[in-house]
Chains A and B, each alone.
Chain A
Amino acid sequence: MDKSTPKHAQGPLSLHIPEPTARPGDAPDFSKLTIPPAGSQARPAADTPAAQLRDCAYDLVRVLDESGNAVGPWNPRLSPDRLRKGLRDMLLTRVFDERMIRAQRQGKTSFYIKCTGEEAVSVAQAYALDPKDMLFPTYRQQGLLVARDWPLVDLMCQIYNNTGDRLKGRQLPIMYSVRDVGFFSISGNLGTQFPQAVGWAMASAYKHDTRIAAAWVGDGTTAEGDFHHALTFAAVYRAPVVLNVVNNQWAISSYQGFAGGDETTFAARAVGYGLPGLRVDGNDFLAVYAVTQWAAQRARDNHGPTLIELFTYRAAAHSTSDDPSKYRPENEAEKWPLGDPIARLKQHLIRIGEWSEEQHAALTTELEEHVKTAQKEAESKGTLGTQPASPSTMFEDVFKDMPWHLRKQRQEAGY
């Protein structure tokens, strides 16, 4: 035998580069997705050891079936009032997004990011958490603020960097910070808040508090080291934290295969860390609520962290600086097999006799008026280009107290 021949040679090596199933011009192809029927997933007790929960990481928790019935053991049995408020908050988030996109196109701000198609993630998760729990969001969880009833005017002022901007014009639009409702300052650096949330949760446990933390990343960001750090620390210290991966299939132009999503689920990452990983239909308001509530309960009962993969689809462009028609089929969102979160909850409410098309149309009009009114108020305080405050504030808050060199630079700048 020729000693230079490798034992298992199948010819020369080849490099695998992942490729999505459809590109612009192709018909959308979701045939590879396995979507189990709603109601078919067992609901284990919230104190079940992680090792017995491995299957959850590969399944998909679903409650709302194709006809809009809530079925199976994960049905959280929310009151119709709660569901109507959920529908309202999701719709308000969407209307807000639409108005702000238009404001960006009109040059009133430089930048915006929508969360279209992912409204159930933030709104239902906010409902399932306690109002005092600390949220470590990304830039695509504006629904958390809507669900916590934070005034839209305040968010718009930040987007416009106007005189009402509490962040004093320092931050890119949508990088909100709302301490009053436990919404942590958003950073442009992806994933950094994931292990920070673990630290916050460790502190809460250290102080024998009852509050827990929740954090979000997208599918793309799971590839960052901070994702690994968060899971390691969360597991080691059994931190009371709910770690969420919003798998919306796309990281700007890269499909989730470039984060390793073709090889396994994102929920399955948890298995290797010894955590429960649950995968949930992210467009199913009831399923998202139920799974988040389960994880929050687990954390509050000192059973530690949970990783949740919220399986959804980024229906809009990544941001106002992005054109998805350059890398994916234009009608892909419409073909997404899990549908639209607002349409599905609406269908359910109508199905159970707690909602109607007329009410929905009226609500839509009401919310559009509400957002318009807020926008008017926000714009009365200026839009991009009007100064948010004296530029002298540019030198404040770098440190708690302004050191000599910043005082000097402020003076040099003429303030």
Chain B
Amino acid sequence: MATMNMIQAINSAMDVMLARDENVVIFGEDVGYFGGVFRATAGLQQKHGRTRVFDTPICEAGIIATAIGMGVYGLRPVAEIQFADYILPAFDQLVSEASRLRYRSGGEFWAPITVRTPCGGGIFGGQTHSQSPESIFTHVSGLKTVMPSNPYDAKGLLISAIEEDDPVIFLEPKRIYNGPFDGHHDRPLTSWAKYPQSEVPDGYYKIPLGKAAVVREGSAATILTYGTMVHVSLAAVAESGLDVEVIDLRSLFPVDVEAIAASVKKTGRCVIVHEASRTSGLGAELMALVQENCFHHLEAPVQRVTGWDTPYPHAFEWQYFPGPDRVRAALAKVMES
């Protein structure tokens, strides 16, 4: 057991898998010698060799396409896209190829690839270093989309993703790489070391894909959220004084519908919180699932707290980012009726 921040946990997951399976290879822009712009792959090339952890040309479509080809051969490629904002050049390869390969070939070929990419805002990243593109992947049949919210989950989920025979989009909220961020940007950041989720086993362990975690039990309402917003939601709940259940979805799709339904049926009220912009965001799908599965248990309209339907602005970081105040307001509203 060691104390790790999220970067160290992600690094450890890859280190463990490199040692465990010679078919695991890791590549992306600046991931090799340099160890990644966020240090996620630091030391891995030195330890495991240049053919297992290496740098690539600046070409996201090429990174994903070659990963698919390697996966077809029988490797387990872990590809990094430096920022989720830059995954779009690879969209054709992910949507038209990786996600459909097993289906279109009648199960003859598949792409067991993991695509790691830092996502999310709250870092003054502006338009192209802050986006949360999860819903464009959850909409694609054949892809699994995952987002951890703490070091322990990050390692366990990443090991599961690497061992998964289906393509996995592994979104890493960069705002919480070093410590949980609760949205109070005016307060100093606390490091992961002060939180139990930073206690991470050194070796191999997995957290199953498709399973949510109840991070705070409660009875008054349910918050469905993931990534950085787990911490924002927990802060908002604490400040509200309400006994709210907070669910960290972890796997965004296929999503843990049983956990969602069990909680909302219990509380009768639901708030959905994500950074991504609202329209056609994952929140819309979650709302539909709640409506379909819990209609007779609902005591109030479901609320959504999300980014606005605008590109992510630079100067208006904290007006855009859905902070604890907005979550608290939604909780108050959902408790009204």
Give the interface of A toward B (CB within 8 A): 134, 136, 166-168, 170-171, 175, 177-179, 184-185, 187-189, 192, 194-204, 206-207, 213, 225-226, 229-230, 232-233, 236, 396-400, 403-405
Contacts and interface: CB of A to CB of B under 8 A. Distances in A.
A405 B66 contact: no
Nearest to A232: B57
B165 interface: yes
B68 interface: yes
B141 A398 contact: yes
Contact of B62 (A167, A187, A230): A230
A199 B109 CA distance: 14
A126 B39 CA distance: 45
A67 to B, nearest CB: 43
A297 to B, nearest CB: 21
Interface in B97-133: 97, 100-110
A232 B59 contact: yes
Contacts of A404: 254, 257-258
B106 A187 contact: no
Contacts of B72: 134, 184, 196, 199-200
Nearest to B67: A199
B165 A229 contact: no
B310 interface: no
Nearest to B79: A199
Nearest to B72: A200
B141 A195 contact: no
A399 B103 CA distance: 8
B142 A398 contact: yes
Contacts of A197: 69
A400 B111 CA distance: 11
B75 interface: yes
Contacts of B313: none
B25 interface: yes
Contacts of B97: 187, 189, 192, 196
Contact of B59 (A184, A188, A233): A233
A111 B86 CA distance: 37
Task: Determine which residue in A171, A187, A399 has the highest number of CB atoms from chain B within 10 A of its CB, and name it.
Answer: A399
B74 A203 contact: yes
A200 B56 CA distance: 15
B70 interface: yes
B102 A399 contact: yes
B298 interface: no
B61 interface: yes
Contacts of B57: 232-233, 236
B107 A397 contact: yes
A175 B101 CA distance: 12
Nearest to B258: A404
For chain B, the bracket of interface size reads 35 or more
Contacts of A232: 57, 59, 62
B51 interface: yes
B104 A399 contact: no
B68 A206 contact: no
Contacts of B110: 400
A236 B29 CA distance: 13
Contacts of B59: 229, 232-233
B73 interface: yes
Contacts of B144: 399
A403 B254 contact: yes
Given A170-B104, A179-B108, A189 B74 contact: no
Given A202-B70, A396-B107, 7 more contacts: A134-B73, A177-B109, A179-B105, A195-B61, A206-B70, A233-B56, A403-B254
B96 interface: yes
Contacts of B77: 199
30 contacts: A167-B104, A167-B106, A170-B106, A177-B104, A177-B105, A179-B109, A189-B96, A196-B68, A198-B66, A199-B68, A199-B69, A199-B77, A203-B69, A203-B75, A204-B73, A213-B69, A225-B61, A226-B61, A226-B92, A232-B59, A233-B56, A396-B107, A397-B106, A398-B102, A398-B142, A399-B166, A399-B254, A400-B110, A400-B166, A404-B257
Contacts of A399: 102, 142, 144, 166, 254
Contacts of A196: 65-66, 68-69, 72, 97
Nearest to B103: A397
A167 B101 CA distance: 11
Nearest to B110: A400
Task: Determine which residue in B69, B93, B254 has the highest number of CB atoms from chain A within 10 A of its CB, and name it.
Answer: B69
B210 A192 contact: no
B166 A206 contact: no
A195 B69 contact: yes
A33 to B, nearest CB: 33
A185 B108 contact: yes
Contacts of A134: 72-73
A405 B51 contact: no
B25 A206 contact: yes
Contacts of A396: 107
B102 A397 contact: yes
Contacts of B142: 398-399
A203 B257 contact: no
Given A198-B69, A233-B62, A398-B142, A177 B106 contact: yes
B209 to A, nearest CB: 10
B216 to A, nearest CB: 25
Contacts of B75: 203, 206-207
Task: Determine which residue in B25, B68, B165, B210 has the highest number of CB atoms from chain A within 10 A of its CB, and name it.
Answer: B68
B104 A187 contact: yes
B108 A203 contact: no
